[in-house]
Amino acid sequence: MVQSKNEGYLGNTLVKRAGVETQYTEVEFQEYLKCSKDPIHFIQNYCSIISLDEGLVKFDLRGYQESLIKHYDENRFNVVLASRQSGKSITSCAYLLWYLLFTPEVTVAVLANKGVIAREMISRIVTMLESVPFFLQPGVKILNKGNIEFGNDSKVVAAATSSSSIRGLSINLLYLDEFAFVENAEEFYTSTYPVVTSGKNSKVIITSTANGVGNMFYKIYESAIQKQSEYKHFLINWYDVPGRDEEWKKQTIANTSETQFEQEYGNSFLGTGTTLINSNTLLGMRSIDPDWNRDNINIYDRPVEGHEYVCTVDVSQGRGIDYSTFSIFDVSVQPFKQVATYRDNMISPMLLPDVINKYAHPYNDALVIIENNAEGSLVAKMLHYDVEYESVFVQGMSKAEDIGVTMNRKIKRIGCSTLKELLEENRLTLIDRTTITELMTFVHKGTSYEADRGYHDDMVMNCVLFSWFITTPYFEHLTDKAVKTLLYSEQQKLIEDDLLPAGVFGALEGQEETFVDVEGDRWYVDSSS
């Protein structure tokens, strides 16, 4: 409570004017000492914030917010990845206020992508300052939308991020809000970092929600996780926020999309950066639950009589690192559609041909295209010669050549370019959750694209191989039923005679068509379309 209007700053009776002497009681003096050493105590007891539902209320710190403040206080370089609307910005502002009030002769810079956002941070600091009793305020010399200068010679300035935003200033604490969304962030950071770190005790606080890989925020956060820099990382998950449970997540996804939820609330680095597929397309992609799932196979659509299918295969060593994968695509529909997937990082290449046969065969003897690099060559030959699956792609249409496709720069370049066109022009529908997730971290590296560090791209490579294939003359042959019949009639006869003694294909009039594969599993053939 103020003693007179003269104590306030320019008529604001809630902000003490610099130069006003404070007479401390013993209780106030002890409280001042306690607040100066404990930012959590200060914020909990003396800071107020504006709630959307309740208006001005005491800042009741949540558990993770207390941990965040401790993190700021204990570490010099801080990088925070947080779910949207988790209170990271207001918590940071509260810490900045404490730092300014109880640390004399320091300069704090609050920077954001836009100056108006940075100035909003100053406004939040002022709101909290107005709730602080006078005996804890050092007094104010200057207070406007862009900066505050206190009687203890500490000050805070707000500006947009640019290479010249803090030029000429000696910064003791730099706060960068939503840094993943800052344009030319790398240029800004390169020019700013030496200025901030010139002092031995200067601090940096960087906060943001995720916004793709390849940007400066992502690089700083990943370097912190890998302990390759001085930065200490802090993570705020969506479920840390009270009131957010699985039902809330389900409803939020229903109102947006799974991909959008993962980016804004799930702390997933996707959507922008240097991904092959643009952010709008990625955010619009929706996965679905498989119609049937067992033994690492997901079936989304059952085989349809008369439809043509393509199965693309990527082979790993089966040692628990990379995955052996395949995807089956329906090429008789527009847009082309992913109808089945397989993914396993423990299966031996020696066993994979039987798995491919089991699931490619019911899809009307899907044309199997195998990347024959390394272990892939063995799988391709075993599938063709040992399992006697005849519908295997041979590059050059000559069995004297290696079966499958040898992935090289040209094929990958064409495949990536075509995949981008197919997805962004809605000519290919991907519905497998893992495939979509991998696309989010399939990024530009050097002269090509690959999985970002710590991620996989095995499912994506299925799509790249498929996309390359549809640009070839072989694809025209596949979709020309007359040509396909001519090319594969004898092969299909061999398969029916030798590989399917346990099942029948076709049905009597009035009966439902079924098929029993070589392992005894019954398939129902959709003849409705």
Cα torsion 387, 389, 390, 396: sign: negative
Is residue 44 within 8 Å of residue 98, measured between CB atoms?
no
Q: Give the chain's length.
A: 529
Q: Which residues pair with 482 in a beta bridge?
A: none
- The secondary structure of residue 354, as a DSSP letter, is H
Is residue 380 within 8 Å of residue 390, measured between CB atoms?
no
The answer to whether residue 31 is catalytic is no
Where on the phi/psi map is residue 153: left (φ > 0), alpha (ψ -120 to 50), or beta? left
Alpha carbon distances (Å) from 297 to 290, 325, 340, 360, 432: 9, 10, 7, 12, 11
Is residue 171 within 8 Å of residue 202, measured between CB atoms?
yes
Q: How far apart are CA 295 and CA 280, in angstroms?
A: 33
Q: Where are the strands (E) in 85-130, listed by range?
A: 107-112
Choose among 517, 505, 198, 223: nearest CA to 357: 517
Q: How far apart are CA 61 and CA 69, in angstroms?
A: 10
Q: How many CB atoms within 10 Å of residue 511?
A: 8
Is residue 354 within 8 Å of residue 380, measured between CB atoms?
no
Alpha carbon distances (Å) from 45 to 42, 61, 126: 5, 10, 16
Catalytic residue of the set 31, 149, 178, 375: 178
Q: Which residues pair with 326 in a beta bridge?
A: 313, 342
Q: How far apart are CA 460 and CA 438, in angstroms?
A: 6
CA 163 from chain centre, in angstroms, equals 28
Q: Which residues are catalytic?
A: 178
